[in-house]
Amino acid sequence: DTAVSQTPKYLVTQMGNDKSIKCEQNLGHDTMYWYKQDSKKFLKIMFSYNNKELIINETVPNRFSPKSPDKAHLNLHINSLELGDSAVYFCASSPLSGSGGKTQYFGPGTRLLVL
Amino acid sequence: GDSVTQMEGPVTLSEEAFLTINCTYTATGYPSLFWYVQYPGEGLQLLLKATKADDKGSNKGFEATYRKETTSFHLEKGSVQVSDSAVYFCAPLRKRRQLTFGSGTQLTVLP
């Protein structure tokens, strides 16, 4: 009955590789997000999708590309990985309206380490 | 732009001590305000929220009141437990449903 799930949980890879992180939510939410948490626990939004449409694209390198095949999935593809990409990436989702309309629900995170 | 100033940690308390973690924000209008908690090795969980001025959010013994006049949303708990050890994040909701997170406050509760 996991609400927001991410795979993989851990990802260790070499510089220059391309990798993807997957996110799925079974809450029926309309909006999904990707956040990056650095080693000092600072959290920053990267992307937001509403019904498969990009609505927020903060200043992130264009090596990062989100893809939303349907409303329940938002994947993050990263090209040419760099050392500075090492972080924990969190997926989140929220409904468009209703009593929980402004609450975001987070996945468990994907810990990416670039060597 | 919008910003959040959160009490710097780490904070170390003995069990049953009183906890306050300060949070002030700058934002356009009156955003909804959230506290999220991150337990070791886990993702973020909503702890409590308040959607308008003077609202009090509460959960698991934690409370925070939306103070419009001081643009603050301080988190309090009367008696902390070892299991409360975690990182706490204050986050106002900006336009386009963006959460702006504070820097996080690491809390350690000793038995």
Provide DSSP, A40-76: T--EEEEEEEETTEEEEE-S--TTEEEEEEETTEEEE
Instruction: Tell which wins on pLDDT, B1 or B108.
Output: B108
> Any residues with CB less than 8 A from the CB of B96 and at least 6 apart, and which?
A48, A55, A56
pLDDT (tens digit, 9 = 90+) per residue, B34-68? 999 999 888 899 999 998 889 999 999 999 999 98
Put simply, the answer to whether B38 touches A41 (Cβ < 8 Å) is: yes
Tell me what pLDDT residue B88 has: 96
| Minimum Cα–Cα distance from A35: chain B residue | B99
Residue A113: CB atoms within 10 Å:
14
Whether A114 has a pLDDT exceeding 90, the answer reads yes
Query: A85 in helix, strand or coil?
Result: helix
Question: Would you say B19 and B105 are in contact if contact means Cβ atoms under 8 Å apart?
Answer: no
Question: pLDDT band at B78, cuts 50/70/90?
Answer: very high
Average pLDDT over residues A50-64: 81
Query: A10 in helix, strand or coil?
Result: strand
Measured distance CA(A35)–CA(A13) in Å, rounded: 20
Task: Name which of B42, B103, B106 is nearest A42 (Cβ-Cβ).
Answer: B103
